[in-house]
Structure formats: C-alpha cells, structure tokens
Structure 1
Amino acid sequence: MTQFLNRRQTLIAGAAAALAVPAIGPARAQAAKVIRLGVLTDLNGPYAGNTGKGSVVGTRLAAEDFMKAHPDIQVEVIQGDFQNKPDVGLAMARDWIDRQGIDAIVDVPVSSVALAVAGLVTDKDKVALFTGPATATLTGTACGPNHVHWTYDTWSLAAGTGRALVADGGDSWFFITADYAFGHALEGDTANFVRQAGGRVLGTVRTPFPGTTDFSSFLQQAKSSGAKIIGLANAGTDTVNCIKQAAEFGITRRGVRLAGLLFQLSDVHAVGLEAAQGLTLTEAFYWDMNEGTRAFSARVAPQLNGQKPSMIHAGGYSAVAHYLKGVAGLGYDASKASGRAVVDWMKATPTDDALFGQGQVRADGRKIHEMHLFQVKAPGESKHPWDYYKLVRSLPAADAFRPMSEGGCPLVRP
C-alpha cells in the first residue's frame, strides 16, 4: 500500500510540473537577482473566469512594474492549473518550492488547497499571497506567519450582502452550499449574520464540488422551504448555473430573492443583466470605480479578450506589488533567506494603491480595505459594455472584516 501511495504522489508531482507553464516577464539581460512567483489557479474549471488567466495577468503586470523601478532584480512568473483538486494543488506547490525555486505562491482559489498551502509555506519559510480563496479560517485558527489573505473572505461577504438583505426584509433563508471548506464557511458566516439580525435559517442543502451542474432539485427544495432568500454559498459557474436555472423555473418571479454570496463581475456577464438585475453583491473592487481602476482595467482587458478584471485579478496585482515592495525594502538577500521576514515587512508597512485604496495587513495576516455593496443594473440602466454595477454603499475596513479578537488566530496577543 505504501509503495502504491508513493507512486501515486510521484505521478501527481510529475503532472503538476507539466502543468507549470513559464510566463516570464519582459525580455532583459540576465540578472543575478531573481524572484520567482507561482500562480496556482483554476485555468479551466468553474473558477477560471474570476481567477485563472486574469490572476496570471495581474501578477505579471505587478512584476513588470516592479522591474521597471528595480532593474537589478528579475521577477519570473510561472502558472499552474491544479484542477481544483487538493492533492494535485499541494503536490504542485511542493514541487515549485522544492525543485523550481519559487519564493511566493499567488491566488489558490480553492479554500481547502489554500489551507494546505498555508502549512507548506510555513514549513518551508516561503510566502503565500492568497488572493482567490474565501475561507476566513486562513486568518483565524489557521493563520500563520508566512501567508496573507488579500482580497476578501467569507466574513466580509456575509457582512456586506447578508446584513443588507436582512435589513431589506429578507429574514428567512435557505442555503445551497458547495460541499467543501469554502461553502461551509460562507454559509456559516452568513447564517450567523442572519440570526444576529433576528432572521431565521430554514434549511440547507450541500452540493458536490466540483461536478454539480444540475441544481434543479436543490432549487426546488429551497423554494419548498418558504424562505424569502435563497443563499448561494457557492461561486463561479455553480452560482451562474443556479441563477440561470432559478430564472428558468420562475422562482424569482414568485417573490423569492437570490443572494449570490460570492457573485463577481464575470458571473454577471455570464448570467446576463436580464436574469441578474437587482441582485445585491459585495466586492472589493470594480473596474469602473475611479481613474485608477479604469487605467488598470485598460491594461488587463486586452489580455482577457475584452473581459474586465475581477476583484481577484486586481488582488493579484495589489498583493504582488506590496510583496515586491517588501523584497526591495527588506533587501534581496534577506527576502530570499526568509519568507516570514517579508511578511513581517508587509504587515509593518501600510498599503495604498489605486485599486483598493488605503489599507494594511494585520497581525493575523488579513489585508483590510474598504468593501463595496453593489446592485446589478437593469438592462436599460447599462450604458456600455461591462457597465453592470451601481454602488449602494462602501463599507469601511474596520466594519468590513472580522475583528482580530474574534478570529482565534494564535499570532494575535489577547
């Protein structure tokens, strides 16, 4: 049995290495100082639209901008598709660190994989910049000295969308939940906000991930519960399929509201404004917020066949830019020697960029910044391509993320 497991692990590592396709920065003279970044992402699965190639593009752009300012340091970027499988993801990350000299791993959109990678980078004293996963456990009981959680988390999504819908009369909920760490965390955090506001959770159903495409029976269960809100504790194409199928069954026409708890720009595009109009959602970034977000999006969209970047794509740029500032600020040799030292620098230095505004990385590794509550426009309100959101309100960083005192992070002193 041990021989079989060892052979299987070897095959997984070999497959992971084959998937790691080089994506090197601009051609330049060979530099003695090299930082290597690995974007561990979903290039072909349900999360590809919100992560995937766009996460690679965001990382590359941050690397290019850094190299212009620091021509003595070369930044190399590789990418890998871990197929949303925890064993493949962890094997790929281990191979990158042990054999390919990766200094920092970026993205990792599946929470169960991110939790495993968090342990790995701590053991190896490397860095993980988690821009794609959602579970707030990464800065709670699973916090660590070598990773940061950048863009959003389940607590911030629940704080935004959950609170807003309960305040608007949605006081009874039924959850359709992706059956893994992310879905469980998103359901749990949202349910807590619903109950704290005086609402009720009437039921929940767990859907296998990945692989579920027909949500009809789950939607019928939700409808039969009598809940005013069907909370979709899933993401990507799972959320898109739920919303499309709910429209086909006429569920929303009967007064039931859908809550896309992790519903992003490319998902709205896939659903279409006719079906998505009126939905409330929480995001950290929108491409049309200000001049800075529009300028970044103008760089990204041509590389994504015209698609505007998601908050996770923007998170890739922002997190990598701050990490590379840490490499320069701490010094190349010290940064190569200890990923933990770079993360300490990142925590000690406030953040400020055009994509997320002012923020900071807290002692628990949580990057905090404003979050924004949006409503999807009706078709007649949209004036040009990708003009999908209207801002309801912005949530201050202090209110948008879980207080450190409530997370249980062992790095935080009582």
Structure 2
Amino acid sequence: MDRNPGKGRPIAAATKLAVARCAFAVGILGTAAAQAAITDDVVKIGVLTDMSGTYADFTGQGAVIAARMAIQDFSGDRTVLGKKIELVSADHQNKADVGAERARSWIDRDKVDVITELVTTNVALAVMDVVAQKGKVALISGSASLPITNERCNANTVHWVYDSYGLAAGTAKAVVGSGKKNWYFIAADYAAGAAMMDGAAKVVVASGGKVVGSSKHPFPSSDFSSFLLSAQASKADVIALANGGQDTITAIKQAAEFGIIGSAQTLVPIVLFINDVHALGLQTAQGLTLTEGFYWNRDDKTRAWSRRFYEHAGTMPSMAHAGVYSSVLNYLRAVEKTGSDEAGAVMQYLKSTPIDDGLFKGEIRADGKFAHEMLLLEVKKPAESAEQWDYYHVRAVIPAADSALPLAQSKCPLVRQ
C-alpha cells in the first residue's frame, strides 16, 4: 500500500473510478447479452471443403471430424446458450460457382451461420463475398492465398492457419540463407499458385537470391515431366513447387524419378502437408524443407488432441484439420461470450480477444489474419522416425510478427494506414 499522504487520495479515487467503470461495463455486457438472440434458435456450422479431389487428404472428411470434435469439446450436449448446435457439410468440388451456390443455399434455406474450411482459393474468395453480402462468417483454414486478408479482405472473414506470405517467409528465407540463391518455380496455373510463387519470389529476392525461370502447369496435373526438364535445364539451385495436394505429391515423385532429389538441385515445396509426406513416404520425402502452422508431435497438448483425432479419422491431423477445430471452437466461445451469433458481434469479439486453445496461440488482426507462430520443418530420414507419423524435425519457430504480412504493407481497406 502507498502511504504517501500526497498520493493516497488520488489512488483511492482512481480505484473507485476503475471499479465504477468495470461495473458499468459489466452492466452493459449483461444488458447486451440479455437482449441478444440466437437466430432461428440454432447455431448452424457448415464445413465446405474438397471431399473427393486434389485436396481431400488434408481437408475432406477430416475437416468434418475436426469440427465435430470442436463442438463436442465446447459442449457435451452440443448446445450454446441453451440452443442447439448443428453441423452440415458439403463438397465444393474445387469450383468457385459450386462453392458460392452452396454457401447461398446454406445461408438462405438452411440458416447456416458460419462456413469453415474452404480449401481452394477461388472457392474461398467466392464464399467470402457471399458471407459479406449476407451478414454471416467465413473461417478459412485450407487456402493459402494472401489476398484473402490483403486486397480482397472483408470484415466477416478470418484466415486461420497459413498463407503464402507465412510459407515463403519460413521456407524461402531459410533455403536462400543456406546458400541456395538461384530459384526456378513450377506453379499451378491458378490464383493460389500465382500467389505462392509471387510471395516466395519476393522473399527470395529480398534475401539476396534470384528467380531464373518459371513454368505454369494445369490444375490438376498428372504429368510434370516437361516442367521438371525445364527446371533441370535451368541449372537453378532450387526447384520450387508452388502447388498443393496431389499435384505436389505427383511432382515430388516424378522429381525423384528424374534424379532431381539427391542431386545438386534442391526441391522445395512451398506448401506441403503431413498427409502428403505420409503418402510419399520418408524414403522419398526425407530432407525436404517446409513450413507449417501446426505439427501434431510438437508438444503434449498437440499430441493429446491429435491422438484423439486419429481415433476418429485413422490419420494424424493436417494443419488444415487443426485449423477447423480451432476456428469452430473459438467461434462457439465468441457466440457464448457475446450472447449472439450475429456476425458483427462475433467478429468484434474474435478480433479483440487473444486466442490460446492448445493448438494455436495468437491474435486476429484488423485484416482478419490470425497471426500465430509458424514452424520451419525438415522431413526426417527413415531411421530418425520413432513411430508412424513422426515425420518432422522442428528446425525453427517463426514468430507471429515474422509469419504475417506487416500491416504497414497491407492493402486491406480494414487496416488504418
């Protein structure tokens, strides 16, 4: 206690004022909660993802399982504020028109309040526009495109797990730093491929490297021979793959057949999921450097949750699966705290409250980017793996401040420059 008579009275007064303000704030929150309502007396969550295509292994049914786990962990009786929580899911087929139409139908007919997962950039951007128009929420886990929280941002969307900037900031910077400065890109000919290549190229150049060439391949693709031959002929130190899912797996397998893996040239996938490594096998994937937002074997909390996921899915979770769980869990917490499933109230709460759910820890910024740590990983050699799915060495932890585009560089209209 401060016994200085000259200071005692101001401190007492300040304390009384703080208590009064707190009581006032509590009263306001209580009134707001009492007045708020759950629309249609149900909180309905939609998982819209790739169920059968290129990205199904690291999203697909696993995303539905992750959402179901989040609902169960939030409330054993699957309710929030005494209202039922319902889950629906659908396959967007990696088509923007299919995804947008499903989102409209869910919102207009089925009264869905939030749509999550949304792998594939064109689908994510299309659904973002729908939820913004209709006053609902989108929580994106599987897409990599930076425009989601940059020039195409909106107030109703959160980009939860990773983007092309974070992936490049980790992998490209580390590889250039190791002395491999000349890069050749093989990129999928769609928005996410272009964004990944552009983001990584900027990091390469800023780190003292150089882009010596690039090729674009159709999506999806089963034959990368011509693109790999061009990359080999370039004599680049690094052949970077700016694609995802089955395309990445196929390209890596064919690179091994062409003798690229194990040669003087280094193969670098800009985005790679643990499910991709599992499909490739450690014999083929060993030594690959990559960046992810989540690894099941990082610590006790991630291991405990992941082993539960495995019991349901028969596979360890990808970072996209972990993101669906985290986003749904924190969405429901926001509904509970605000007393409402109204998008504005939920988004305001999410952007004002630090997140720490055992899988991710960070804050959602004004642009809708969930800024959290990313992990720089190296795929283990077969002899280094202690058990199935023990695939990575964690080589570095990339702080949130370095894994997200600086707000000073943002083109998002929600960010005050």
TM-score by length of 1: 0.89
* CA shift for structure 1 position 352: 0.7
* CA shift for structure 1 position 377: 0.2
SS at match of 1:68: coil
Aligned match for 1:321, one of 306, 325, 329: 329
Whole-angstrom CA distance in 1 between matches of 2:181 and 2:175: 8
Aligned match for 2:265, one of 256, 262, 268: 256
Aligned partner of 1:406 in structure 2 is 409
- One-letter amino acid of the counterpart of residue 58, structure 1: A
Aligned partner of 1:56 in structure 2 is 64
SS at match of 2:250: helix
Aligned partner of 1:347 in structure 2 is 351
Aligned partner of 2:288 in structure 1 is 279
Aligned match for 1:121, one of 122, 128, 131: 131
User: Cα deviation per residue 1:261-289 (whole Å; 9 max; x = unaligned)?
Assistant: 10110000111111110111101111111
CA contact (8 A) 2:92 2:123 kept: no
User: Cα deviation per residue 1:104-123 (whole Å; 9 max; x = unaligned)?
Assistant: 00011001111111111111
Whole-angstrom CA distance in 1 between matches of 2:390 and 2:57: 17
CA contact (8 A) 1:108 1:114 kept: yes
- One-letter amino acid of the counterpart of residue 353, structure 2: T
Written as runs of structure 1 = structure 2, the 5 A alignment for 1:329-368 is 329-332=337-340, 335=341, 338-356=342-360, 358-368=361-371
Aligned match for 2:172, one of 162, 165, 188: 162
Bigger-Rg structure (1/2): 2
* CA shift for structure 1 position 251: 1.4
Percent identical = 47
- One-letter amino acid of the counterpart of residue 380, structure 1: A
Size of the aligned set, in residue pairs, is: 377
User: Cα deviation per residue 1:5-29 (whole Å; 9 max; x = unaligned)?
Assistant: xxxxxxxxxxxxxxxxxxxxxxxxx
Whole-angstrom CA distance in 2 between matches of 1:251 and 1:394: 28
CA contact (8 A) 1:174 1:227 kept: yes
* CA shift for structure 1 position 344: 1.2
CA contact (8 A) 1:330 1:345 kept: yes
- One-letter amino acid of the counterpart of residue 329, structure 2: A
SS at match of 1:112: helix
Aligned match for 2:111, one of 97, 101, 116: 101
Runs of 5+ unmatched residues, structure 2 = 1-38
- One-letter amino acid of the counterpart of residue 322, structure 2: A
Aligned match for 1:389, one of 379, 389, 392: 392
- One-letter amino acid of the counterpart of residue 208, structure 2: G
Aligned match for 1:91, one of 77, 92, 101: 101
Written as runs of structure 1 = structure 2, the 5 A alignment for 1:27-38 is 33-38=41-46
User: Cα deviation per residue 1:74-117 (whole Å; 9 max; x = unaligned)?
Assistant: 21111111111111111111111111111000011001111111
CA contact (8 A) 2:260 2:267 kept: no
Whole-angstrom CA distance in 1 between matches of 2:416 and 2:190: 30
- One-letter amino acid of the counterpart of residue 44, structure 1: S
- One-letter amino acid of the counterpart of residue 398, structure 1: A
RMSD: 1.3
Runs of 5+ unmatched residues, structure 1 = 1-30
Written as runs of structure 1 = structure 2, the 5 A alignment for 1:71-220 is 72-210=82-220, 212-220=221-229
User: Cα deviation per residue 1:352-379 (whole Å; 9 max; x = unaligned)?
Assistant: 11111x2110011000111010100001
Whole-angstrom CA distance in 2 between matches of 1:253 and 1:365: 40
SS at match of 1:95: helix
CA contact (8 A) 2:95 2:122 kept: no
Aligned match for 1:237, one of 220, 240, 246: 246
Whole-angstrom CA distance in 1 between matches of 2:262 and 2:397: 29
* CA shift for structure 1 position 249: 1.1
* CA shift for structure 1 position 33: 3.1
* CA shift for structure 1 position 32: 7.8
Aligned partner of 2:24 in structure 1 is none
* CA shift for structure 1 position 253: 3.1
CA contact (8 A) 2:292 2:377 kept: yes
Whole-angstrom CA distance in 1 between matches of 2:233 and 2:226: 11
Whole-angstrom CA distance in 1 between matches of 2:222 and 2:326: 33
User: Cα deviation per residue 1:280-319 (whole Å; 9 max; x = unaligned)?
Assistant: 11011111111111111111112222x1000110000111
* CA shift for structure 1 position 341: 2.2
Whole-angstrom CA distance in 2 between matches of 1:66 and 1:73: 13
Whole-angstrom CA distance in 2 between matches of 1:400 and 1:134: 13
Whole-angstrom CA distance in 1 between matches of 2:359 and 2:287: 25
Whole-angstrom CA distance in 2 between matches of 1:73 and 1:285: 32
Whole-angstrom CA distance in 2 between matches of 1:126 and 1:238: 33
User: Cα deviation per residue 1:241-261 (whole Å; 9 max; x = unaligned)?
Assistant: 011000011112331111111
